Amino acid sequence: MSKNERILFVLHLFVGIGAIGGGLAAILNPHAPLGMPVEALKNAPFSSYLIPGVILFAVIGLGNLLGAAALRSRWRWRGYTSFVLGWTLMIWIIVQCMMLQEVVFLHVLYFLIGVIKTALAWKVLAKQG
């Protein structure tokens, strides 16, 4: 693995494991996952965190773990996979901020991680030709 791929691998694991935990918390306790009150969804199209939790778990969590596996196995589409996962994370954060109508430090952090993942994936793709 190249240096860019190693960094992407670590970022995919970090995001994936965190999203699995957060998604599972929302699935198991959809009205107050990790202490987040359901009232925060007053401007969202959801009455609980169940659907966002399933999306977080499946798309962001499992998706990033699969992205890490793609990098580890040197799958030929690994650069595209990482690129899509970077964009997916950025879109997830933007939509989340719009629904919650607030921006906190973790939103900024994860958005920047999405930017970094997308840029590194672009470099991997350029190197692959």
Residue 16: pLDDT over 90: yes
Residue 1: pLDDT over 90: no
pLDDT score recorded for residue 128? 84
Residue 126: pLDDT over 90: yes
Residue 129: pLDDT over 80: no
Average pLDDT across the chain, whole number = 96
**Residues 6 or more apart in contact with residue 75 via CB below 8 angstroms:** 69, 81
Structural tokens at position 53: 């939790």
Half-sphere exposure of 53 (CA within 13 A, CB side): 21
Q: What is the mean pLDDT of residues 31-60?
A: 95
Domain boundaries, the chain: 3-128
pLDDT tens, residue by residue, 65-111: 999 999 999 989 999 999 999 999 999 999 999 999 999 999 999 99
Q: Which long-range contacts (C-beta less than 8 Å, at least 24 apart) are formed by 64-69?
A: 64/12, 64/13, 64/15, 64/16, 64/19, 64/89, 65/12, 65/13, 65/16, 65/17, 65/20, 67/8, 67/12, 67/16, 68/9, 68/12, 68/13, 68/16
